[in-house]
Homo-oligomer: A and B are copies of this chain.
Amino acid sequence: MTSQPEKHRITHIAEALQAHGHRLTEPRQALIEVLVGSEQHLDHAEILARAQQRIPQLGRATVYRTLELLTGLGLIHATYLGDGRQRFCVPSGGHHHHLICNHCGTVTDLDHCLLDDGLERFAQQHDFTVESHLVELYGICHDCQKAA
């Protein structure tokens, strides 16, 4: 029941936005807050709905435009959790890795990165600078294995 740590990250993303020459507006603030404040991975519609709780007249188009902007700057990441729907999250802590159950659809977040070590070495071999990465593991979760 606090918004202390969120405030901090809001500032972080917001500042990065401005650092790139973009304006920090009310709608953008709201959208960033929604993203930071959620433990879930939200899609366009969910993000819009939540942001409209603060700014009722906020338009769909703004959500699309802002999400594209933030994604392009690498300030947020898109993820794909098996339902073909694009979702977004703040890459805070660096864990945008998921275990996705093909059976029940449950998504478990991983706080440990499976690649970290091999990544840099690998990228250098390929002369490729990795700015971000996406790892999704699809399979059968603990509970569904028992159930079957």
Contacts and interface: CB of A to CB of B under 8 A. Distances in A.
Q: How many copies does the complex hold?
A: 2
A111 to B, nearest CB: 12
Contacts of A138: 74, 130-134
A139 B132 contact: yes
Q: Is the interface of A mostly helix, strand, loop or mixed?
A: strand
A114 interface: yes
A142 B128 CA distance: 6
B114 A119 contact: yes
Contacts of A119: 114, 137
Given A80-B86, A133-B137, 17 more contacts: A78-B80, A78-B84, A99-B128, A108-B128, A114-B122, A115-B115, A127-B142, A128-B137, A129-B145, A130-B137, A130-B138, A131-B139, A132-B137, A133-B136, A133-B138, A134-B136, A135-B135
